[in-house]
Structure 1
C-alpha cells in the first residue's frame, strides 16, 4: 500500500498511506494534522503499512457538527478502515488521538490488533481539569491560535524550539489555520473525555502500550501508569527527558519503542492464533 499524495475516503477523510505489511494507523493530536507523523512514516514504513489521516475538523477532513461525541471520531476511523479494506489494524493515537484510539478499542474491538496510546490524558486532577477548561474557553472566544505560544512551550523543549524555528513556525501556522468550530468541538472532547468509559477499559484484550515523556506536563507519567493499570497486560513506557511532542522532537527514540512493541505484539498474536514463526 504505497501512496505519495493524500487521498479521500467516500466520507471525505483525508489520509496518506505508505509501506507494506501489517497495517498501523496513526491519529494526531488536537490542532495538528496527519503531517505530524512524518518521522514515524519514515521509520515504520519499511516494516509496516502506515496510514495517517486527518481527524474530523482538522487538515483536509470534514468539519464535525457541533456536539459530535467521541464515538463520531471513532466511527471516522472505522470508515477509513472499511474504505481501505483493512480487517484489523494496530492503532496508535497521540494526545487527543489517544482518546479516539481508546474509544475505537471499546466500540470496535474486532477491528483492533494492537493499541498504542502516546502522550495522552487520563484522570486529570481538579487543577489540571480547571486549566484545560480555561483553555477551552479561550479557544471559544479567540480562536484556535489563542493558546499557541503556551502550547508550544509545553509541547517542545526550549532547545528544540531554538534549533528548529522554521518547524515551530509551521506548527504555529497549522494551529492558527484550523477551522474554529471544528477545533473547538474537538478541543471540548479533549478537555472532558479523559475518563471516557473508564469502567470498560478492562475489556481491551489486545497488546497495549501506554507511553509518555518524563517531562510531559499535561500527559504525565502518572496518568500513563494509571491508564495502563486499567488495561490487562498493558505495557508502560516513560521516555527519559521527553516532552509532549516526542514523536516530532525525538522520532528515532519513539520509532524504536514502537518497533519493539509491534514486534512483540505480533509474536503474542501469532501465539494466540497457534502460528509458529
Structure 2
C-alpha cells in the first residue's frame, strides 16, 4: 500500500497488484477514504485505490463554486497520475453521484460501475428533511453525531463503540466551509442525468433499511440504467459497507469477477 498526493492536491491510498484494472472507491460527504477499510482489507490481493474527494480529509478545495464535473475531473487527474487506463468504480452516497457523473462523461475509462446507497428523486418530505439538515449544519458549523443513528443500526453501534468513535472523529475533523460546499451539491442534486449514457455493467446496491438512499430509489435506478443489476443488503442501513461488510464485499466481488 502506498499513499501520496497529486500535484492538484488529491490524497490517495493505492495498493497495486498484478491486475491491470484496480477497484476505485469513492466515499460519501463528510467522510474520508478510511471508511473503505473493510473493502480494502477484503480485496487486499486485488489492486485497489481509495482517495479523499475534494475538500475532504487531506484533499484540497480551492474553488468558490464546485460541480460534479469537478469531482470527475479529480478522478481523471488521479488515474492519469497513476497511469491507470481502466477502473472498476465503486461510489458510496455522494460518491455514487460522482460515479454516475463519471460514467456518463468518461465511460471509456470504466470496466464496471457500482452505485452503493445512491439517491434518486427524493419525495417532497425527503427533500424537506435533507434541506433542514443542511440549514442546521450551516447554523451550527459542526456535524451532528445523530447522523450515525441513521447510518448504523442501534445494535451495531452498541456492539462496536470503536467504529462509532472513529466515524464520529472523521465527521468532527471536517473543514465546515469545504463540507458545506460539497454537502450543498448533495442536497440540491436534481437527478437530471441521462442514464441511457451509462453503458457499463452496473451494480446498484443499498441497505434494506437505508432511509436516505431507499430500496425504492435503487429499484428505480436499476430500471433506468440499461446494463444494471440490483442487490439489497439485508438488515443494512446507510453505512452497510461497514456494518454488513461481508454481504457487500461478496456481492461486489462476484460482480467484479463477472466483469473482469
Q: Please give the range of the TM-score, normalised by the shorter of the 2 chains.
A: over 0.9
Within the candidate set 212, 219, 229, 2:223 is matched to: 229
Q: 1:60 to 1:12 in 2, by over 3 A?
A: same
Within the candidate set 124, 127, 133, 1:126 is matched to: 124
Within the candidate set 128, 135, 151, 1:155 is matched to: 151
Aligned to 1:272: none
What is the Cα deviation at residue 113 of structure 1?
Answer: 1.3
Q: Does 1:108 align with 2:102?
A: no
Aligned to 1:273: none
Q: 1:169 to 1:194 in 2, by over 3 A?
A: farther
Aligned to 2:141: 143
Aligned to 1:274: none
What is the Cα deviation at residue 85 of structure 1?
Answer: 0.7
Q: Distance in 2 between matches of 1:136 and 1:196?
A: 21
Q: Distance in 2 between matches of 1:168 and 1:44?
A: 23
Secondary structure class of the residue paired with 1:99: helix
What is the Cα deviation at residue 65 of structure 1?
Answer: 2.1
What is the Cα deviation at residue 64 of structure 1?
Answer: 4.6
What is the Cα deviation at residue 248 of structure 1?
Answer: 1.0
Q: What does the per-residue CA deviation read over 1:11-66, in whole Å, with 9 as the maximum and x for residues that have no partner? A: 110000114212110000000000000110011121x2100000011000002523
Equivalent positions of 1:1-277 (< 5 A) are 2-3=1-2, 6-20=3-17, 21=19, 22-46=21-45, 48-145=46-143, 148-197=144-193, 200-266=194-260
RMSD (CA atoms)? 1.2
Q: Determine if contact 1:56/1:76 at 8 Å carries over to the other structure.
A: yes
Q: Distance in 2 between matches of 1:202 and 1:45?
A: 33
Kindly tell me the number of residue pairs found equivalent between the two proteins: 258
Q: Distance in 2 between matches of 1:144 and 1:120?
A: 24
**Structure 1 stretches of 4+ moved >4 Å:** none
What is the Cα deviation at residue 196 of structure 1?
Answer: 3.8
Q: Distance in 2 between matches of 1:196 and 1:83?
A: 30
Gaps of 5+ in 1: 267-277
Q: Distance in 2 between matches of 1:108 and 1:233?
A: 16
Q: Distance in 1 between matches of 2:96 and 2:190?
A: 10
Q: Distance in 2 between matches of 1:88 and 1:141?
A: 42
Q: 1:150 to 1:64 in 2, by over 3 A?
A: farther
Q: 1:150 to 1:196 in 2, by over 3 A?
A: farther
Q: Distance in 2 between matches of 1:55 and 1:164?
A: 26
Q: Distance in 2 between matches of 1:128 and 1:75?
A: 30
Aligned to 1:275: none
Q: Determine if contact 1:144/1:177 at 8 Å carries over to the other structure.
A: no
